[in-house]
Amino acid sequence: MRIRVLLFARYAELAGRDELEIEVPPPLTVGDVWRWVGERYPELGRLEDRPMMACDRIYAQADRSLKGGEEVAFFPPVGGG
């Protein structure tokens, strides 16, 4: 199944890109996608902080299962305001 992955801020800088599409067999959780990204981009894999995670623009936990077609985002602690 296909998942769209968005990266922001420092994570996008470390990976050198802010968007990728992955094709992975089920079952798959949001946490699995982060691990996949960390293996593909070791600079992210080496990070100690746990990312904030969102699925289809709603905050999600790592154990959230995916069905395919979702937009998953990973980002550092926010800094607005």
Partner 1 sequence: MGRLTFDPIDPDRLVAAVRRPTRGAVATFVGTVRSPNRGKEVLHIEYSAYEPMAEQVLDAIEAELRDRYPEIGVAALHRLGRIGVGDASVVVAVAAPHRQEALQACSDWIEQMKVRVPIWKKEFYSDGSAWVDNRDCTDPDRPAPPSPHRSS
Give the binding site for partner 1 (CB under 8 A).
Answer: 6, 8-10, 52, 54, 57-58, 73, 75-81
Nearer to partner 1, 10 or 31 (CB): 10
d(CA 19, CA 12): 8
25 vs 81, beta carbon nearer partner 1: 81
**Cβ closest to partner 1, residue 39 vs residue 59:** 59
Least distance in angstroms from the C-beta of 75 to partner 1: 6
* Closest approach of partner 1 to the CB of residue 79, in Å: 4
Written as six digits, the tokens of 21 are 């599409």
Q: Who contacts 27 (Cβ-Cβ below 8 Å, separation ≥6)?
A: 65
Of the CA atoms within 13 Å of residue 46, those in its CB half-sphere come to 5
